[in-house]
Structure 1
């Protein structure tokens, strides 16, 4: 769990908080009026976060490619792909009336 510190206290104890994050592995959340505004983490934690972000963005790109490729992509990230006509196997022909 992260240790919360008000921003005024963080200013006064900045060097100590940096040491706690970098050498002690603590995660320190800086708050203002009780709400989190920033965090101090070790460089190792930052590297892990960056690897996770990169893996997530690679996964999203793969999903877009598997979802129909560039021809079905509308060009706007997050926008739905343009509708494509269904193949003959998926079309329904009503029975002929006699």
Structure 2
């Protein structure tokens, strides 16, 4: 549950509110006419919220797109750089 405070009072107590959020782990909701206007949350809470907003499939899509762009094959230079000693040649090796 968040601590609610009117915007007029929040202006006068901003430093104290910031301390409550940072050191007390509280969430503060600033209201105007009894309706929520904004919320003060810790930077850690904000990072978690941002992570929830990010699409979970995005890194996978990027990885697949990168493989398609590269053609799925490695060059001898890449094999040497990454220490690759084997190469996949498909179902019918010749």
Count of aligned pairs: 59
Gaps of 5+ in 2: 61-94
Deviations 1:22-77 (A, max 9, x none): 111100000000000000001110010011111xx3359x9xxxxxxxxxxxxxxx
**If the length of structure 1 is used for normalisation, what is the TM-score?**
0.56
Report the counterpart of residue 39 of structure 1 in structure 2. 39
Structure that is richer in helix per residue: 2
After TM superposition, the score normalised by the length of structure 2 is 0.58
Structure 1 residues 14 and 58, CA gap change in structure 2 (3 angstroms): same
Distance (whole Å) between structure 1 residues aligned to residue 57 and residue 19 of structure 2: 35
Unaligned regions of 5+ residues in structure 1, if any?
63-98
